[in-house]
Amino acid sequence: MVSAVERPIRKDEIVLEDRGLYVESWLPERRSRRRPLVLVHGELGGSWVWERFLGYFAHRGWEGHAVNLRGHYWSDTAEVSGLGFDDYVSDVLAVFDHVPPNPVLVGHGMGGLVAMKAAEARHVAGLVLISPGLPVELRTPPRPHVLREIPDSYGRELLGWQSLPEQLRRMNADLTIEDVLRVQHLMGRESGAARRAMLLGVPVDRSRLQDVPSLVVGAGLDRWFPEPDSERLAAWLGAQYEPFGAHSHYGAVLGSEGYEQVAEAMRHFLEAHRL
């Protein structure tokens, strides 16, 4: 019998030329009744963050559509310094018009906060937040100097990823050297305005999400989005919570040695809710 990981899949793309958006799609060989997944990356990211998730779920019957927000990876080369958090939310909402209705929205890091705001505006069948940014209702206001030090456009140096690969490997114990090199190579530029908005706090109307089946995943080695914050968010949303104490921020979604544990928890959640 052919195993799930050997079943053929089909890769496709969605291009929104008016917005300069490129969406990477991985589809099962045969369409199923499972809800489509729309995946939203976080800071400095792109659809590359989700490559292992796209393969895992496509082989099991879910179609996945990984958004490249404007100015990121395969989307247009718009200068990110001219973009803000609300622009990212509008990008995700625009993608909704080009995928099957009522998708499951999946967000990572800042993309988790973007996903919550998009789910406020449009109906989604489910919400999965992996090491997400916190809404203003749960966030401690940042010190003014922290905001002043964020440039209008920044790269991996602001997040400490300019270090030697061996040092980054020690700080992210669930990543291999190959994983570290991949992240370093693919990290792009990010909007300082979007990061300032996230740190200041973006309001989320949880009453609009209360009927949406939700899963929050926390990563114990995440230095940017600490696991206790993810647990608080899950309690605030009334969401299912799954902690992974030995996972880092990137290890939870693309770590070759650990991503599958998170993907399996997400699959169990989807199956339990018939999504």
pTM of the predicted model, to two decimals?
0.95
CA atoms within 13 A on the CB side of 42: 26
pLDDT at 265: 98
pLDDT confidence bin for 3, thresholds 50/70/90: very low
Please state the rounded mean pLDDT for residues 144-169: 94
pLDDT in tens, 57-66: 999 999 999 9
pLDDT in tens, 12-40: 999 999 999 999 999 998 878 899 999 99
pLDDT confidence bin for 7, thresholds 50/70/90: low
The full set of domain ranges for the chain reads: 4-272
What type of residue is 227?
E
pLDDT at 1: 35
Which run of H or of E encompasses 193?
Answer: helix 192-200
Please state the rounded mean pLDDT for residues 76-80: 83
CATH H-level superfamily of 4-272: Alpha/Beta hydrolase fold, catalytic domain (3.40.50.1820)
Q: Are 210 and 238 in contact (CB under 8 A)?
A: yes
Q: Please give the mean pLDDT across all residues of the chain.
A: 94
pLDDT at 182: 95
Please state the rounded mean pLDDT for residues 146-162: 94
Cα distance between residue 39 and residue 230, in whole Å: 18
Q: Are 267 and 64 in contact (CB under 8 A)?
A: no
pLDDT at 263: 98
pLDDT in tens, 198-211: 999 999 999 999 99
pLDDT in tens, 215-250: 999 999 999 999 999 999 999 999 999 999 999 999
Cα distance between residue 86 and residue 23, in whole Å: 19
- Please state at what angle helix 85-96 crosses helix 192-200, rounded to 10 degrees: 100
pLDDT confidence bin for 6, thresholds 50/70/90: low
